[in-house]
Structure 1
């Protein structure tokens, strides 16, 4: 009996010591669940993408530096090359008129049949914005609407029966011009299940497209103001 009591006391002592050790060691670990793992995986993917973007920028900068060095070694005037780069940047920023192949899209309200709610028969700012984004995603290199150049900071806002673009109100019909591969741009509008295709077939919105080898898009004429960028 004494032996059994001694064994019991010894077992309890060992168990207490082991429990204390486990508690102390567990303080060094953080217990996570599946949501935490998913969140960390997303953060890792974002960081990896940022790293790839930085690598691309470095590679592009190295290539540009190599071109400068080659021009200099050949005795050529680097200023000519730099001026070409400036012209490209101006085109991207919207400060020059552009021309090239592309498409023209005409958007007009449904004038024939009402769906019981007049809002379904009208072109809204959201419709214009989505269609412009679809064209950009399809490779459009420059876009305008009713002669107004679309930039990255352009707002398309509904103001009653009008849509405000670059601070100026414009009315339907809306003429969107886009420079890019005309077949791919046309598919972004006319292919089944695209946003524009559904607007036309479901709601009766007037949507007409025309391919052209000569699309002219005007430059941005307004002054661009920056609130936080310093010269």
Structure 2
């Protein structure tokens, strides 16, 4: 076999091998490349999620640190102390431990002087009448109530004792002076309404009823006698 023939055969073999190698590489690339790209994209997405969560956590930590610094400041501590003291005082006021001063109304109610009702059961103020009036006042949103200068609370005991009414152990006779602290105009309008209970007592049984506004009402702290 001469040299020319050898070169031709060698060239053909080289060409065939090159083609086979190229096809093999192409097949592997076609098989592996999409999977590799998909994995990379998944990793990138996961990385973005982690980075976003880290940023969120950093913001939360920063907010917590700022809140701690603010609440550790003397100014915040002083404000918190004042707020708690005011809240405690408000609770004591609601529990009847302090006098209450403010605007409101004064209701004066006395037994009927009408000849048809005078000294009759229908013409006399009873504990049930007072309770209904108190309930109307509470529904009107008053802050505090007293009857003849005796503080009335949610658990106060009010009952008839012959010609008098006993309020938390205090015997009180007519006329009954009911004071209520709150929104003066609103309470006055409600209690003066034609559908109010005191209007019924006045127009039906001719009881002596007066309702007046007052900007300087004092309701004493609770004094309960057992």
Pairwise TM-score range, normalised by the shorter structure: 0.5 to 0.7
Structure 2 spans left out of the alignment, 5+ residues: 1-66
Corresponding pairs, count: 157
Q: Are the structure 2 counterparts of residues 83 and 158 from structure 1 closer, same or farther at C-alpha, using a change threshold of 3 Å?
A: same
Name the structure 2 match of 1:165. Answer: 167
Deviation at 1:92, TM superposition (A): 0.5
Q: Which has the higher helix share?
A: 2
Name the structure 1 match of 2:85. Answer: 83
Structure 1 spans left out of the alignment, 5+ residues: 1-67, 225-231
Deviation at 1:205, TM superposition (A): 0.8
Name the structure 1 match of 2:183. Answer: 181
State how 1:81-230 maps to structure 2 within 5 Å. 81-115=83-117, 118-222=120-224
Deviation at 1:114, TM superposition (A): 1.9
Name the CA distance, whole Å, in 2 between partners of 1:123 and 1:218.
Answer: 24
C-alpha contact (below 8 Å) 1:104/1:176 kept by paired residues: yes
Name the structure 2 match of 1:72. Answer: 71
Deviation at 1:116, TM superposition (A): 8.3
State how 1:29-48 maps to structure 2 within 5 Å. none
Provide runs of 4+ in structure 1 moved above 3 Å: 68-71
Q: Are the structure 2 counterparts of residues 176 and 116 from structure 1 closer, same or farther at C-alpha, using a change threshold of 3 Å?
A: closer
Write the deviation string for residues 94-135 of structure 1: whole angstroms up to 9, x where unpaired.
100111110000010112322488011111110111001101
Deviation at 1:84, TM superposition (A): 1.3
Q: RMSD of the TM alignment (CA)?
A: 2.2
Q: Are the structure 2 counterparts of residues 115 and 142 from structure 1 closer, same or farther at C-alpha, using a change threshold of 3 Å?
A: same
Structure-1-length-normalised TM-score: 0.63
Structure-2-length-normalised TM-score: 0.64
Name the CA distance, whole Å, in 2 between partners of 1:216 and 1:92.
Answer: 14
